[in-house]
Structure formats: structure tokens, C-alpha cells
Copies of this chain bind each other. A is one copy, B any other.
Amino acid sequence: MSRQKSSAEHGQDALLPHNTRRSLPIALLRAREAVMGHFRPMLAQHEITEQQWRVIRILAETGQVDATEMAEKAFILAPSLTRIIRSLEERGLISKSKDAEDGRRVLLEIAPAGMKVIAEVGPESRAIYATLEAKYGKERVEKLLDMLDDLATLGV
């Protein structure tokens, strides 16, 4: 288990910005990239992006949801979601409809072709996650998730 020197340990430039590798933004980026590096090639083989996978995965879990709810759950900004929805609908993986009670809302639902992707990608995705979890340690993953959630909700 690698242990980095903490900033305090190597008496570095207190005035300059932090050591790049010991700053939260880059550390979070590197960690995320390392994790996605395990998933992306598999997703690419199925010709979907990480974000597209999140969208159809949430539709499979949740059933019909509107765009706002999807944006929150998948953590995708509205303009990106608009494009992703268009692409997924063109490819027949999801279907889109207008909410009858509120004409502003767009309702999303997974299509049969989307369910096929879920059936194919789902098991591979879970296998990769399980391997990752086993390597890092299930307890540490939980601990890390807690700490990340605290960080994300600091200002709330």
C-alpha cells in the first residue's frame, strides 16, 4: 500500500501553489481517470460512452424519468444531456416523449435495443467493478465513498 509523503513532511514552497500531485483537484482527476481506464475500453467495444452508459443504466434501474431527474442522477449537465438523448434516440437505445401533464418535460424510457446493451454491458461492468473493489479493498471503497460524499456536500 503506497504511502505518499504528506505536504508537511517535505518542507516545500509554502508560497507557491501546492505540489501538483498533492492537490485535491488533480488527485480526484487522476483517481477518476484510473478507475474509468478500466471501464472505458469495454464500453468502447459496445460503442457507448461512459455518459451514455450512465443514462441507459439509470433508465434500466428507474424506469421512466424526465430529463431533469436524469441530469441529477447521472450528474450530466442539461446541454450535454440534450445531445446524449438525441444520440441515444437516433440509435434506438431509448425513447423520448413529452409529458402529458407538463408540456415542458421530456420523459425518457429505455428501448428494447437499450435493454440489450444493459444485458451485455451490465455483467462486464459489474465484473470490472468487483475486481477493482477486491484490489482496493471493499471496506476502503466504502470509506472512500463516505469521504468523497462528505467533500461533495461540504457546503450544503
Q: Which chain A residues have a beta carbon within 8 Å of chain B's beta carbons? A: 1-4, 6-8, 13, 16-18, 20-36, 38-39, 50, 54, 57-58, 60-61, 73-75, 122, 125-126, 129, 132, 135-136, 140-155
Q: Is the CB of A145 within 8 A of B50?
A: no
Nearest chain-B residue to A121 (Cβ)?
Answer: B17
CB A5 to nearest CB in B, in angstroms, measures 10
Quick one: which of B18, B23, B30 contacts A152, CB cutoff 8 A? B30
Interface residues of chain A: helix, strand, loop or mixed (majority): helix
The docked-state distance in angstroms from the alpha carbon of A151 to that of B4 is: 12
With A132-B154, A155-B34 known to touch, is A27 a contact of B61 (CB < 8 Å)?
no
The docked-state distance in angstroms from the alpha carbon of A135 to that of B33 is: 26
Quick one: which of B31, B39, B75 contacts A30, CB cutoff 8 A? B75
Q: Is the CB of A75 within 8 A of B32?
A: no
Sample of 6 more A-B contacts, CB < 8 Å, known A2-B150, A24-B145, A147-B147: A1-B150, A3-B146, A27-B148, A28-B31, A34-B152, A34-B154
